[in-house]
Amino acid sequence: MKKEYDIIVVGAGPAGSMAARYASEQGASLLMLEKDRDVGYPVRCGEAITKRNLIQFIDPDPKWVVAEISKFVVYAPDGTEVVFDFGEVKGYMLERRIFDYELAKTASTAGAEILTRAYVYDLILEDGKVCGVKVEYRGEKIEIKSKIVIAADGVESRVGRWAGLKTHIDFRDMESCFQVTASNVNAPQDALQFYLGTNYAPGGYFWVFPKGENIANVGLGVSGDHCKKRSSLSYMNEQMEKFFPDASILTQVAGGVPCSVTLDEITGDGIMLAGDAARQVNPLTGGGIGSGMIGGSIAGKVAGEAIKKNDLSLIHNYKKEWNKKRGKLHLILDKIKEEFFKISDEEFNEIFHKMIKHKPEDRTLNKLFMTALAKKPSLLVEVAKVILI
């Protein structure tokens, strides 16, 4: 470990590894620091990713793909089932403890140095400018300087706050999730299953995602304001009892997913935020692996360029680039989410009853959206508002 780098990345999740890879590819000297002992572990994730988001960064590999997804099965509150069969692979179930590790390897191949068990406990600030990090490593407290720090330290990010950025997120946008990886769960290996309704998970959904023969990630997310009344764990216990009373629990995780629009400020003097730390999760689905990789890759590219051109002010282009690629879309998805969760259980049931009247080949996600639109025309108004600004 040197005493100074061009760039330091805090956190070796998907966003951090992509930032490290793309900045290193441009010749920047870079150190990525991860507080945990292993990159990729512990896993706090349902592990589903779309094919489109994945393949722009890495080719699917059987080492870490546990299932290929070609269907969504969605359940209305009254149990009505609608199958969306895409007829081709549209997504993957990952083994994230291996996947994250492989992503970090791509960063190291590009030239990044990586250290685990390296806990960043503060920033080095000079006249309000971020100039490096303070790290606890092997019992020692060390200061490492850098021109840019990229904070990819996940949902509980503190680095952005230390730098003076406003990282606050509304409580109701924070999904409180609980998930188990369970065996004795018979789930189709080619489908992601979603259950909608206040009885399953108010302001969110209950999911069953395949993880191999007889194993699945079973979880749910409940929006923050509902959790005040009843915890996500309590909903989870009820669903497990109802659907999988014979399941054996192999792992269990609890965690938050920031289902909001991206933070207003994702750069400051010498600092950039990426992934969950920047609130780059898809606000409608809660998927943050792919969007975090996209955010991280843009942050890394922009930071690498700023170093190459010796002009640190260029890091502020990051927000514009992110907005072009994803940020604007997230504004729309956030509006859809707002309206979507105003739909009552009875209305959901009606929408699904209409859907099953269509021929299976006509049951598309677009059709679901259009059917929901007929029930909630305000959806369109909200979406139009975002598109038109």
Ligand X SMILES: Cc1cc2nc3c(=O)[nH]c(=O)nc-3n(C[C@H](O)[C@H](O)[C@H](O)COP(=O)(O)OP(=O)(O)OC[C@H]3O[C@@H](n4cnc5c(N)ncnc54)[C@H](O)[C@@H]3O)c2cc1C
Q: Residues 164-203: x/- map of binding to ligand X (CB under 6 A)?
A: -------------x-x------------------------
Q: Of 177 and 215, which has the nearer Cβ to ligand X?
A: 177
149 is a site residue for ligand X (CB under 6 A)? no
N-term to C-term CA, the chain: 47
Among 7, 9, 48, 187, binds ligand X (CB under 6 A): 48
Question: What is the contact mask toward ligand X in residues 200 to 219, using x (rule: CB under 6 A)?
Answer: -------------------x
DSSP letter assigned to residue 41: B
Segment contacting ligand X (CB under 6 A): 286-294, 315-323, 325-333, 374-382? Answer: 286-294
Considering the rule CB under 6 A, would residue 33 count as an interface residue with ligand X?
yes
Half-sphere exposure of residue 361: CA atoms within 13 angstroms, side-chain side: 0
Q: Which stretch binds ligand X (CB under 6 A): 13-21, 317-325, 329-337, 338-346?
A: 13-21
Query: Using CA atoms, how far apart are residues 59 and 209, in angstroms rounded to an integer?
Result: 21
Rule CB under 6 A: is residue 261 a binding residue for ligand X? no
Q: Judged by CB under 6 A, which of 20, 289, 303, 351 binds ligand X?
A: 289
Residue 12 sits in the site that holds ligand X (CB under 6 A): yes
Mark the segment that binds ligand X (CB under 6 A) among 33-41, 304-312, 313-321, 355-363: 33-41
Distances (CA, A) of 175 to 169, 191, 231, 280: 11, 23, 11, 14
CA angle 13, 15, 21 (to 5 degrees): 100
Q: Within positions 117 to 146, which residues make up the interface with ligand X, using CB under 6 A?
A: 119-120
Can you say whether residue 373 is alpha, beta or left, with left for phi > 0 and alpha for psi between -120 and 50 degrees?
Answer: alpha
Indicate the residue type of 388: L
Residue number, 203 or 288, with CB nearest to ligand X: 288
Outline where DSSP puts E strands in the chain. Answer: 4-10, 30-33, 48-50, 65-69, 71-75, 81-85, 91-94, 113-115, 118-126, 129-137, 140-151, 174-183, 191-195, 205-210, 215-223, 248-258, 267-268, 271-273
> Binding of ligand X at residue 325 (CB under 6 A)?
no
Compute the residue count for the chain: 389
Which stretches of the chain bind ligand X, using CB under 6 A?
A: 10-16, 33-36, 44-49, 119-120, 152-154, 177, 179, 219, 253, 255, 257, 275-277, 281, 286-290, 292
